[in-house]
Amino acid sequence: MALLQELGLRPVINASATLTRLGGSIMPPEVWAAMDEARTQFVDLIEMQRRVGERIAALTHNEAAYVSSGAAAGLVLATAACVTGTDETAIRRLPHLDGLKSEVIVQATQRNGYDFAVRQVGVRLVEIGDAGGATVTDLERAISPATAAVAWFQGAMTRPTDLPLEMVIEVAKVHGIPVIVDAAAQLPPPDNLWKYTQMGADLALFSGGKDLRGPQSSGLILGRAELIAACALHGNPNPRIGRPMKVGKEEMAGLLAAVERYLRLDHGERTRECDRIVALWCAALNEVAGVAATRDFPNEAGQPLPWCRVAIDSGVTGVARDEVVVRLMAGDPSVAVACRDPDAIHLNPTTLEPGEETIVLARVMDELSSRRTIA
Ligand SMILES: *Cc1c(COP(=O)(O)O)cnc(C)c1O
């Protein structure tokens, strides 16, 4: 690609995951076609946000929807909405919370980097439970008149010992406290777009730029109409707390097209294609001395797609796991792989473009079979 070359950048083949630091995902033609169309016309942005939201809400069986500039931005807007509702005076005061609800409850084990997005509204996180889990009593004790919301993070940080989401929702409902579910990477299956809200969560957030393959700087807030209306008041073009997280007309059009595409997609066929690639990798890599490749399931975010675990016995291969990862990235072409377990890499078929599976395989074979002595 001429532009990358001019900038001195090398393209990366992504066999890791929909990671923001690698560019997230590749937009399919129907997504950029929609963005290309949207870029050519001026439009009333608030009206466009409303119409796109109505369309996405209908497609995803939700009461209402809002396009944010990502799932993390969705956490900011959702938290702000739970703090202020649609009260304009309160909305203008953020992030100063005097007289407003100022606490968000979270399970201690679910604390993660994205909770910065919750805290930037000004709220304090109140942790419940510990490594051993959390109980209904922990949650009930943490609830106070200052509680704005309960946040639930779904993904690698969710533990089997967590107080289950069903119970969190049940308890929160009794106290009239909204539940925000960060489900950024919880696709597929597509019906997760309505699963959490149908369970009773008030708002559910998704990345637009992960498996949905919408614009990289887009995200979805789905759920209760009144809270979505508050998100819109906080969001651009209004000069409020969400203003720096601008969503353009192009992102709105692109994300709508991405949601439509995702719901039309044959997910069974896609899973079979991933299985075919993983089987191909396993067969070839298991011929390499010191390597044991197996189909692993589910994927890194707990989603129902297969990926390939490649265990490396460095005593035999002559090259340690970390060295393999560095060489794959530094080589030509550059290949990014995932590191989940010690002494193993994971290869993910879901972020590959057609045909890249053979390039990934050739690169991995090369690094694992020809390095008996380290240069
Ligand atoms: C990826 C991710 C985010 C951030 O999503 P963006 O769309 O990149 O803002 C937030 N929370 C979780 C759990 C994630 O996996």
Ligand 1, atom 12: closest residue by C-alpha:
184
Burial class for 118, CB neighbours closer than 10 Å (0-12, 13-18, 19+): buried
What is the pLDDT confidence band of residue 256, given thresholds at 50, 70 and 90? very high
Q: Quick check: 374 pLDDT over 50?
A: no
Instruction: For a ligand 1 pocket test, name from 20, 116, 221 the mutation site with the most ligand atoms within 8 angstroms of its C-beta.
Output: 20
pLDDT reading at 302 higher than 60: yes
Q: What are the residues facing 68 on neighbouring strands? A: 219
For 337, the token pair is 């792989």
Share of the chain above pLDDT 90, in %: 95
Burial of 170 from C-beta contacts in 10 A (0-12 / 13-18 / 19+): middle
Contacts of 193 (CB under 8 A, 6+ apart): 60, 61, 62, 187, 204, 206, 220, 222, 259
Q: How confident is the model at residue 76 (pLDDT cuts 50, 70, 90)?
A: very high
Pocket test for ligand 1, best of 154, 182, 255, 300 (most atoms within 8 A of CB): 182
Distance, in Å, from the CA atom of 53 to the CA atom of 56, rounded to the nearest integer, reads 5
Q: What is the pLDDT of residue 156?
A: 86
In whole angstroms, how far apart are CA 281 and each of 292, 302, 307, 348? 11, 21, 10, 10
CA separation for the pair 358, 369 (Å, rounded): 16
Reported confidence tier of residue 372, pLDDT bands at 50, 70, 90: low
For the segment 40-45, the average pLDDT, to the nearest whole number, is 98
Is the confidence at residue 373, as pLDDT, over 90? Answer: no
261's tokens: 């595409």
Q: Which atom of ligand 1 is nearest to the CA of 74?
A: 9
> How confident is residue 188, by pLDDT bands cut at 50, 70 and 90?
very high
Mean pLDDT, rounded, of the chain: 96
Which residue ranges have their beta carbon within 6 Å of ligand 1? 20, 70-72, 114, 153, 155, 182, 184-185, 207, 209, 219
The pLDDT of residue 371 is 58
pTM assigned to the model:
0.96
CB 102 within 8 A of CB 79: no
**Residue 332, number of CB atoms within 10 A of its CB:** 7
Number of helices (H) and strands (E) in the chain: give both, helices first.
15, 12
pLDDT digits (tens, 9 = 90+) for 83-136: 999 999 999 999 999 999 999 999 999 999 999 999 999 999 999 999 999 999
Residues 6 or more apart in contact with residue 44 via CB below 8 angstroms: none
| Dist CA 98 CA 194 (whole Å) | 35
Nearest-atom index, ligand 1, CA of 208: 7
What ligand 1 atom has the least distance to the C-alpha of 73?
Answer: 9
- Could you give the strand order of the β-sheet that contains 203-207, starting from the edge strand earlier in sequence? 64-68, 219-223, 203-207, 179-182, 147-153, 103-107, 124-128
Confidence at residue 1, expressed as pLDDT on a 0 to 100 scale: 78
Please tell me the distance between residue 114's alpha carbon and the centre of ligand 1 in angstroms: 7
Q: What is the pLDDT of residue 375?
A: 43
Please report, as a single letter, which amino acid is at residue 355.
G
Q: Are the C-beta atoms of 262 and 187 separated by less than 8 Å?
A: yes
Burial group, residue 290, by CB count within 10 angstroms (0-12, 13-18, 19+): middle
> What are 198-238's pLDDT values in tens digits?
999 999 999 999 999 999 999 999 999 999 999 999 999 99
Segment 304-351, tens digit of pLDDT:
999 999 999 999 999 999 999 999 999 999 999 999 999 999 999 999
